Structures are given as structure tokens and as C-alpha cells.
């Protein structure tokens, strides 16, 4: 099962971590894993490439970690929140259908 943990600080998302494979299907045909990967990678790309917001990122097989830096401007926080909260919505909609393969958690840091 894939678990995506959203890290919040004072209610704002400051990052997320996704780990493990969903186990829905074999590698290469797992639609749940593909959906999670597409949403998380698109969010990171949107933060870095489109919004130009510096983030800490770590990718390995079956793992992604992304965190916003503490010193970004309030304007950048507001922009980043749109992408990150949209990620929450997208992943939670997948959980509704594939809750045996994907779990989301929110943790205050």
C-alpha cells in the first residue's frame, strides 16, 4: 500500500512524502501507482518549473519527498498552497475508490 503523508505547519502544507508501491497490479500495469506518481511528480514540477519556488526533493524507486523552504515569501506560499491542496484533493479522490491501495495522512510538524 502507498502512504502519502502531508506535513502541515500552522495549518499550511509544507511538504509531502509518498512511499511504497500500491500493490494494485504488477509493475508497469498498476493504474493506482501511475495516478499517484503522475499527481505527485506534476505537483513537484509545478512548484519548481512553473512557479519557480525552491523545494527540497528526493526521488527513489517507490518514494518521493518534497518540502517547501521556510524562507519563501507569503506570495509564493499562497501559490504553492494551491498546488499542494489540489494534490490532497486528487489523492483523496483516489483513496475513495482504491482505499485498499492508497492511504493519506496529515501530520502537524
Predicted confidence at residue 70, as pLDDT, reads 87
Query: Whose CA is closest to 102, among 31, 9, 26?
Result: 31
Residues in the chain: 109
Compute φ and ψ for 80, nearest 5 degrees: -60, -40
Say if residues 27 and 93 touch (Cβ distance below 8 Å): no
Predicted confidence at residue 44, as pLDDT, reads 98
pTM comes to 0.94
Predicted confidence at residue 27, as pLDDT, reads 86
Query: Whose CA is closest to 84, among 37, 57, 47, 48?
Result: 47
| Ranges in the chain, pLDDT < 50 | none
Amino acid at each position: 500500500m502507498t502512504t502519502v503523508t502531508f506535513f502541515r505547519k500552522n495549518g499550511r502544507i509544507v511538504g509531502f512524502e509518498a512511499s511504497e508501491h500500491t500493490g494494485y497490479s504488477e509493475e508497469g500495469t498498476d493504474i493506482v501507482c501511475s495516478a499517484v506518481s503522475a499527481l505527485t511528480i506534476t505537483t513537484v514540477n509545478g512548484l519548481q518549473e512553473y512557479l519557480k519556488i525552491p523545494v527540497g526533493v528526493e526521488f527513489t524507486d517507490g518514494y518521493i519527498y518534497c518540502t517547501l523552504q521556510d524562507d519563501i515569501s507569503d506570495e509564493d506560499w499562497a501559490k504553492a498552497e494551491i498546488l499542494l491542496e489540489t494534490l490532497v484533493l486528487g489523492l483523496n479522490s483516489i483513496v475513495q475508490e482504491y482505499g485498499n491501495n492508497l492511504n493519506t495522512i496529515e501530520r502537524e510538524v
